[in-house]
Structures are given as structure tokens and as C-alpha cells.
Structure 1
Amino acid sequence: MTNPVPQLRLNSGATIPQLGFGVFLVSPEETQRVVEDALEVGYRHIDTATGYNNETEVGAAIRASGIPREEIFLTTKLRNDHHKAGEAAGAFDRSLRMLGVDYVDLYLIHWPMPANDRYVETWRTFGTFAADGRARSIGVSNFLVPHLERLLAETGTIPAVNQVELHPIFQQRELRRFQMEHGIRTEAWGPLGQGKYDLFGLPAIQDAAKAHDVQPAQVVLRWHLQTGTIVIPKSTSRERMTQNLDVFGFELDADEMAAIDALDENRRVGGDPNEVN
């Protein structure tokens, strides 16, 4: 069966599955089982981070799956306390060892940590990982427009991806516009609002779910996909994983998209990247 998930082209020349699977706050004890389930139901894009403390288990699940490594898009992220150039290099080596792989498909700076003022130095080091092929693409996470402007001005290297909080209550329109203009793909973490807002009870989402005979979460994921965003929902339930992947049999119309667009309150669930240090 052909995998229905679209492949988006990155500025590195690589492609990334637009719908993936995240393991934020999945305990190490559960991670291998959860990732094996995700791969079995059809995900081919797995997103972890050193800070999640489950890289070893993600790697074990990939090996146990029997799926060829080149068929899985694997992302991990640099922990916030390793922003010095030498520390970033050592941290990357450790991630590869923990995951048990020779390369990752995407390596991200997890947060800019602006008070430390080392993210430009860190980004230059990331360029060496891309140059030697151990990171097929490099990018950032939780960066704001001023942080991106500094990277571009001081290094000339454009991130392939910026993974940020993004959901119908917090739509990041200015940031998305900037990234589109500069060839940076937007990837959404917390795409369903992490349960902090009653997204699924909002009339715009309820009405679309009824119209298409799908679940509200499927409507929200479909909205992300139709905006061109890469999206990485998380669930430890195999049933919900399957449901989250089953979003290619319907399409939201212009009115439904506009109604969800109108939900934006510019309200975060997570930390402000200017203040996470």
C-alpha cells in the first residue's frame, strides 16, 4: 500500500514526511513500544530530542521494526546546556550513539537560549554536521524572527526547518510568513494544543468534524496539513495514532479553513523563546 503522507522538499534537497510522530513526554519505559506501534501503523517520521531522555529507546524501536533505516525520517535536537561549539559537537556524537545510527535526517537547536547568546556559534557548528553528512538537514526549534534574522545575517546558512508551537489558538502568522519568504519549513509541535485549550469543543472544529464524519483531532491535523505545515502529533494509544494518520480521505473547504483561521488568539501553551534560558 502506498503511504499517503505527502513528502515536502526541504532547502537541503532532502524530503520530509509532512505528518510525523513525536515522543515528547513519552517515558523511556514506554518509548520503544510506542514508537514500534507508530511505525507499524504507518508513520515514517519520528521526532525525538536529547532532552526527552528517550533517544536510546527510539533507536531500539527503529531497529526492532525491521524497516530499512533510509525509509524512516529521524529528527533529534540539541539539549539547551550544550550550546558551546565543542559541547554541541560532543552532544551530537552522543545522540548518534544513543540512537544507534550513523546519521540523523534532521538535527535541531532545541531553543535559542538568547540570554546565553551562543545560538549563532552553535549554528555554525551545525553546519559541520551537515557538511560531513551525519545530519542530512539542519534546523532550529522555537526560534523567533529576530533569532532567524541573526542566523541568516551572520552565517548565511538558512535552516531547513523551524519547529515551533503552532495550533489553531496560536497560529504564528508573522513567523510563518517570514519562513515562507526564506525557504524555511514550518513544523508544528503541540499541534492539538496539548489539551490546554478545549480546541475540540470549538464550533468551527465541531462543525467540520460533523460535516466530514471524522474526529475533531483529525480536523485540526487536516487544517495544519492544508496550511503547508509539517505536523508531529503524539499519542501513546495505538488507536489514536491510527486515527491521527487517517486524515487523507477528506479535505476542508475554504469556509472551514477560514473558520479555523479565525480562532487565532496568539496565545501560547509553552514557554516564550525569549524567556527560556
Structure 2
Amino acid sequence: MPTSGRRPTSPGGSARTVPVETRIHFQEELSALELQALGGLDMVAESLERTLEAVLHHDVELAGYVIADDDRIDGRYLEVRQGILSLLARQAPVATDLRLIAALLDLIRNFERMGDQCVNISKLVPLVGREPPVHPEIITRIERMMRQAISQVQQCKQAFARRDVELAEDLVRQDDEIDRCNREIFALVLETGDDPDAREWGMTMMLVARQIERVGDNAVDIGEQTAFVVTGEFREFTDASHPDAVPPAIGLSAGPRGE
């Protein structure tokens, strides 16, 4: 069994020996960073739950808590990002590790955005008042969208952790449901009539729905990174500009671990 790996350190082809212990320590640190990154998705799921409760019950205090708690999500993003940069500064990864690192950087950017979207929704809660003219069909769809988004966040975490491409691709199905509800909310708002308070509330719910729709898009992005880690090729699961076309894959060659 070999006791070391080799990697080039100069254009002339010189190489230095990388002790097995160093590679093991690198893998352990990278695995720990992945767990921290996936934990950020748990934070987002909790924030989405609180955001939904704030919207459904017009809870301004809870909405304020969601806004303040976003610092915790931002902190996790910065912690993982700094950890990855520090790891790269100490040892250059092989190609397969580089794929995971690139995917983790994308993952943390997406969960940080999800946290921001919870904040954006929460900032809208005080604007509708404590007893707004609620349209039952609209609020039902808002709740359905949010529940679906929470499910997507949980599923994209599972898919990434398990390296399950099929589970990752299934995120598109859930995202289609969110998009459908978003379109239905838009149509219902147009039918709210001439009551200015009802129309204002409806317009606010359109903004809420738009933010939820973006959470779903972020979850699909994480699913795409799962496929990238597994296959070494990046491809979009859907292509809005060419819905009937198969999106092209962009390859990143990867040799055996240690090369």
C-alpha cells in the first residue's frame, strides 16, 4: 500500500511527497466543513418555519426575530467560507476534492440567500397590519408554497449529503408546484376587486410569493451541485430559455484521488 501521494508543484514537473497523514487531516477538515454547510440548511428550514408563522398570524414580533436571527445564518456562511479558504491556503486539493469545495462554496451562497429571502418576507409583515383583509385562497397558496419550499430545503440537504442525484433531480418537480402556486396567486390578486386595502394586501402577498419562489430556485441550484459532485459535469436541471431542450453538461475532468 502506498504511503504517500504526489502532486506537481512546478511547470517543470517537480513534485513533492504529500504524507498520508496530511491527506487524512485534509479530508477530515473538508468533511467537517461540509457538515457545517449542511447545518446552514437546517437553520434556513427553521427560519422558513418561523417566517410562515409570522405571515399566517401577522406576528410582527416573530417577524422581527427572523430578521435578527439572520445574523446567525450569515455567521455560518462566513465561518464555512473562511474555513474553506484557510484549507485551500494550506494544501491544494486534488480534482475530486476541488469539485466538492466548489459545490460547497455554491451551497453556502445559496443558503445565505435563502436567509435573506426570509428577511425580505418578514419585513413585509408589519406593512399589512394586524387584521388585514385576508383572501383565503391566496393565503392557502402562500402556505402551500412555503411548506413546499421547506420540503425542498430539507430534500436538497439530504440529496447532497447522500450524493443522491435522483433525489436532487426530484427537486424540479417540487419547484414546479411552487411556480404554479405563484402564478395562481398573481391571477387571484388581479381578481381582488376595487377595495384598496384588499389590493394592497394582495400585492404584498405577491411579493411574499416571489421570495418563496426564489427559495425554491436556490434549492434546485444546490441539487445541481449535488449532480456536479457526483458526475464531474455541471448541468442545469431546467433551462427556462429552452424548456424543451436538454441542458448541456459542462465537464470538469477528475483523475483518481491523489493524482
Which category describes the TM-score, using the shorter chain as reference length?
A: under 0.3
Larger proportion of helix? 2
Larger proportion of strand? 1
Which protein, 1 or 2, shows the higher relative CO under an 8 Å CA cutoff with sep ≥ 6?
A: 2
Structure-2-length-normalised TM-score? 0.27
Structure-1-length-normalised TM-score? 0.26
Q: Which one has the largest radius of gyration? A: 2
